[in-house]
Structure 1
């Protein structure tokens, strides 16, 4: 999965083939169902990614579950 900040996997043949790459992996910080919270190993950028895999939440729950609560 490309980092939306630095796209460090650009030019990597292994990543381009969709295979597991030993250089360009991501930290999985947490997940809420199908919503993943990821961090780039190269630039430390943090972002969320909705996989929709096995998603049982409504679209509204998917949107709001990633929001921080005070």
Structure 2
């Protein structure tokens, strides 16, 4: 289910895991891992004291995307 969609910020909005991590659908596991780390550092809630809720939501989506895309099944 690599096409699975993550819940977006608004009701009814969906974000593609590949788009969220900014990788191509043909990306290798290593590329996905690097992209996750890059995005996680950029959006980590500790770095955004002024918008913790939004950063937490994005960070959780990134974790969900990485978990799904890095699963070989």
Common fold: TM-score over 0.5: no
Q: Which has the larger radius of gyration?
A: 1
Query: Which one has the bigger strand percentage?
Result: 1
Query: Which one has the bigger helix percentage?
Result: 2
- TM (norm. structure 1) is 0.26
> Whose relative contact order is higher, 1 or 2, with alpha carbons under 8 Å and at least 6 apart?
2
- TM (norm. structure 2) is 0.25
